Chain A
Amino acid sequence: MRFASVLTTSLLAVTACATTPTEDASPTAVYDPWEGFNRQIYAFNDGVDQAVLEPVAKGYRAVTNEPVRGGVSNFLTNLNQPVVFANTVLQGKPGAAIDTATRFAVNSTVGLAGILDVATSLDVPQHREDFGQTLGVWGVPNGPYIVLPFLGSSNVRDTVGFGVDIAFDPLNYAQFEGDNEFLITRQVVGVVSARESVIEAVEVLRDQPEPYVALRRLYTQQRAAAIRDGREQEDPFEDLPDFDDYDFGEEEEFESQEE
């Protein structure tokens, strides 16, 4: 049943991908043909966030200390390592795959089921990979920007990736007593923990002149950087815009320098 819903999600996303129009030619523009609809979902998500998520996240921060929140975050991150591992393999990164497998083995055992991040103290680096990134590494373009209800910013490629990552997660197939309750708790705690970690960032976002546009651009740029594994672009200054069109009021000095 669970697999069927995953498959449906993936197929829906793939169908959407098949109708992807071409990307905007501008280097930093985000292709958002469904902007009207996306803005409505964004407003809905923001309403839910302000009414429920933000207060819960702030409450969670108030009743827990940093080590506890760190332990929760470590535990959730560790549960996701099989998905990360699958994606490192698919991206052809054996070093990252070995790191991820090692982290999972060490943290699941010595790290008390992932609560302690022992692997980091042993200098085994953490990798963050998902199937959206894998598709990006394979050269699949973003496709149109999408705001998903409750889930937030995405694009067609990452929505497909999201569905595939659910399908990759062995926990979604594991059968044990209380498995459904465990999965639901994991999702709820995961959302609260993730929201708590961005309390300040969301406040900065809300201070922006146009938060929808700001988030759309930030999401797209951050995903591109994640696909590059956090490396800067080869020539990060190549596409910078020209300021010469915006009158500097010192034409004479400028001309004299050119001579």
Chain B
Amino acid sequence: MMKIRNWIISSAMLAVAAAPAFADTQTEEYVRANANDVLASLNAPGLTADERREQFQTYMDEFTNLDAVAKFVIGKYAKRFSDEEMEAYLTTFRNYALVVYEFYFNEYRGQDVKVTGSTDRNARDSIVDTEIVRADGQELEVRWRVLNRGGKYQVVDVALNAEGNLIWLAIEQQAQFLSILDKNNGSVEALNAKINSMTDELIAQRPAESS
């Protein structure tokens, strides 16, 4: 009898341990629908470049939590900046982030985002796996880190899989921003100047028809 009970308990524990960790379907659907909307917005026919950009930025604001990302990428300095410094930095970062996202997402505009799986880190933190096929046929594996805050989903980081190496963009950006801040005694002006120069460079590289 004891043996049977132990067997049942062991089997149940094994089943729980082996159960695949799926994010709820709402999280997956959130990524699928929004990522497709974002990529579609860059390809929206009948809109001027400015209108397309405005639509893209509206979707990005809804889809991602730019302020949380902005604060995350400056790490320990998020608590050191004064309110005025933080405000200036958040504006600078937002401008930069939207230009960067547009620049890189542009390569995938109009493409289909397919959800291939997901993992829950916990009830409020999930990773959704997707595949995006580029116009040239190249397949890109993209992971989206989605946080659920009070029932509101928002993406806070994106990872690209490069031969088994997951490159999380916000984590990489944090390492670089912290290095800039450390070298400049935590100067928000130095960081903003660097970010602005990168924003200008990306704007200068925009294809003529989308400028």
Task: Report whether B176 and A209 are in contact in the complex, using a CB–CB cutoff of 8 Å.
Answer: yes
**B70 → A minimal CB distance (Å):** 8
Task: Report whether B72 and A224 are in contact in the complex, using a CB–CB cutoff of 8 Å.
Answer: no
Whether B135 sits at the interface, judged by CB under 8 Å, is no
Compute how far the CA of A231 lies from the CA of B145 in the bound complex, rounded to whole angstroms: 20
Task: Report whether A243 and B147 are in contact in the complex, using a CB–CB cutoff of 8 Å.
Answer: yes
Task: Report whether A217 and B175 are in contact in the complex, using a CB–CB cutoff of 8 Å.
Answer: yes
Residues 117-140 of B at the A interface (beta carbon under 8 Å): 119, 121, 124-125, 127
Residues 153-211 of B at the A interface (beta carbon under 8 Å): 156-157, 161-168, 171-173, 175-177, 179-180, 194-195, 198, 201-202
Compute how far the CA of A214 lies from the CA of B166 in the bound complex, rounded to whole angstroms: 14
Given known A218-B167, A230-B164, A240-B168, contact A253–B176 (CB-CB < 8 A): no
Whether A210 sits at the interface, judged by CB under 8 Å, is yes
Whether B36 sits at the interface, judged by CB under 8 Å, is no
Contact among A212, A222, A254 with B150 in the assembled complex (CB-CB below 8 Å): A254
Contact among A28, A232, A241, A243 with B161 in the assembled complex (CB-CB below 8 Å): A232
| Residue interface mask A215-242, B partner, CB < 8 A = 1 | 0011001101110111111001100110
Whether A50 sits at the interface, judged by CB under 8 Å, is no
Task: Report whether A240 and B121 are in contact in the complex, using a CB–CB cutoff of 8 Å.
Answer: yes
| Number of interface residues, chain B, beta carbon within 8 A | 41
Task: Report whether B164 and A246 are in contact in the complex, using a CB–CB cutoff of 8 Å.
Answer: no
Whether B78 sits at the interface, judged by CB under 8 Å, is yes
Task: Report whether A257 and B149 are in contact in the complex, using a CB–CB cutoff of 8 Å.
Answer: yes
Whether B71 sits at the interface, judged by CB under 8 Å, is yes
**A58 → B minimal CB distance (Å):** 18
Task: Report whether A253 and B121 are in contact in the complex, using a CB–CB cutoff of 8 Å.
Answer: no
Task: Report whether A209 and B68 are in contact in the complex, using a CB–CB cutoff of 8 Å.
Answer: no
Q: How large is the interface on A (under 10, 10 to 19, 20 to 34, 35 or more residues)?
A: 35 or more
Task: Report whether A209 and B198 are in contact in the complex, using a CB–CB cutoff of 8 Å.
Answer: yes
Task: Report whether B68 and A246 are in contact in the complex, using a CB–CB cutoff of 8 Å.
Answer: yes
Given known A231-B164, A246-B68, contact A214–B172 (CB-CB < 8 A): yes
Whether B5 sits at the interface, judged by CB under 8 Å, is no
Compute how far the CA of A195 lies from the CA of B68 in the bound complex, rounded to whole angstroms: 38
Task: Report whether A247 and B68 are in contact in the complex, using a CB–CB cutoff of 8 Å.
Answer: yes
**A143 → B minimal CB distance (Å):** 20
Whether B55 sits at the interface, judged by CB under 8 Å, is no
Task: Report whether B198 and A248 are in contact in the complex, using a CB–CB cutoff of 8 Å.
Answer: no
Contact among B119, B148, B149 with A237 in the assembled complex (CB-CB below 8 Å): B119
CB-CB under 8 A from B195, the residues of chain A are 209
Whether A250 sits at the interface, judged by CB under 8 Å, is yes
CB-CB under 8 A from B87, the residues of chain A are none
Residue of B157, B165, B175 with most chain A CB atoms under a 10 A cut-off: B165
**A257 → B minimal CB distance (Å):** 5
Residue of B68, B78, B119 with most chain A CB atoms under a 10 A cut-off: B68
Sorted nearest first, the 8 A-B pairs with minimum C-beta distance are: A253-B150, A210-B176, A225-B165, A225-B164, A230-B164, A246-B71, A209-B176, A213-B179
Q: Return 26 A-B CB contacts under 8 Å, by A number.
A: A209-B173, A209-B176, A210-B180, A213-B179, A214-B176, A217-B172, A221-B165, A221-B167, A222-B163, A222-B165, A224-B165, A228-B164, A232-B164, A237-B121, A237-B127, A243-B125, A243-B156, A248-B147, A249-B67, A252-B150, A253-B149, A253-B151, A254-B149, A256-B150, A257-B124, A257-B148
Given contacts A210-B179, A221-B167, A240-B145, 16 further A-B contacts (CB under 8 A): A28-B171, A209-B177, A214-B176, A221-B165, A225-B164, A230-B163, A232-B161, A236-B166, A240-B121, A241-B72, A246-B68, A246-B78, A249-B67, A252-B150, A254-B150, A257-B151
B contacts, CB < 8 Å to A? 65, 67-68, 71-72, 78, 119, 121, 124-125, 127, 145, 147-152, 156-157, 161-168, 171-173, 175-177, 179-180, 194-195, 198, 201-202
